[in-house]
Amino acid sequence: MDTLVFATNNKHKLREVREITGTLMSIKSLSDIELDADIPETQETIEGNARQKARFIYEKTGMDCFADDTGLEIAALGGRPGVYSARYAGEGCSFADNVIKILEELQGIEDRSACFRCVICLIYKGQEAIFEGRVDGEITLDQSGAEGFGYDPVFRPEKQSQTFAEMPAYLKNGLSHRGRAMQKMLQFLSQLQ
Ligand code: IMP
């Protein structure tokens, strides 16, 4: 079984990714490999950030690894928060601060369409590959649900009646930006075997 290091300190993402890979591979977190690192994330695109994070971990460890970066793009906000999704409400802000900020900005706006885009950069046997997943949907009027993380309580994927935060993990993973990018990565790896 392949072992891949996932370049994140986000325990929610780690749990999702492990649920997606199941027994297909062993996913090591940074704490599993005892790497206490502040991963840089200073690029202006989500692809740039995914590459930067994966290269940083590869340079430190030499291990097969991958990193993901996600942006929530809201049409009425001209694609914001986009690459700034993590710190939209300011440096050191919480998930809740970000959610409140977008709900305030969308007050009275009819077009609530949005999408999540996730880019995964894999470095496998020294070679880089990029996988992208996207899910379209809308920002709800209020928060609902306690599952997931980040903007999940206010993002309802198209054709669904629940927000990501109301869904069981398997449902979110089957529809989500990260789930779709992960499936592409798993297919790529299976073709190499
Ligand atoms: P990151 O840079 O990939 O960590 O993602 C930036 C921000 O997007 C995170 O801090 C979260 O607020 C948000 N985010 C990423 N993935 C998800 C998700 O699956 N659901 C909801 N919000 C997410």
Task: List pLDDT tens digits, range 53-81.
Answer: 999 999 999 999 999 999 999 999 999 99
- Write out the chain in H/E/C secondary structure: CEEEEECCCCHHHHHHHHHHHCCCEEEECCCCCCCCCCCCCCCCCHHHHHHHHHHHHHHHHCCCEEEEEEEEEEHHHCCCEECCCCCCCCCCCCHHHHHHHHHHHCCCCCCCEEEEEEEEEEEECCEEEEEEEEEEEEECCCCCCCCCCCCHHHEEECCCCCCHHHCCHHHHHHHCHHHHHHHHHHHHHHHHC
Share of the chain above pLDDT 90, in %: 95
Of the two residues 36 and 111, the one the predictor is more confident about is 111
How far away, in angstroms, is 86 Cα from ligand 1 center?
6
Atom 6 (ligand 1) nearest CA: 86
Q: Give the orientation angle of helix 11-21 with respect to helix 177-192, to 10 degrees.
A: 50
pLDDT band at 3 (very low <50, low <70, confident <90, very high): very high
CA dihedral in degrees (163, 169, 174, 175; nearest 10)? 20
Q: 149 lies in which domain range? A: 3-192
Q: Kindly report the CATH number assigned to the domain that includes residue 114.
A: 3.90.950.10
Residue 51 has pLDDT above 90, yes or no: yes
Q: Which of 69, 136, 142, 152 is catalytic?
A: 69
pLDDT band at 193 (very low <50, low <70, confident <90, very high): confident
pLDDT band at 38 (very low <50, low <70, confident <90, very high): confident
Sign of CA dihedral 40, 41, 42, 48: positive
pLDDT single digits (tens) 150-182: 999 999 999 999 999 999 999 999 999 999 999
Q: Which residues line ligand 1 (CB under 6 A)?
A: 10, 68-70, 72, 85-86, 95, 98, 148-152, 164, 176, 178
Q: Which amino acid is at 83?
A: V
What total number of domains does the chain contain? Answer: 1
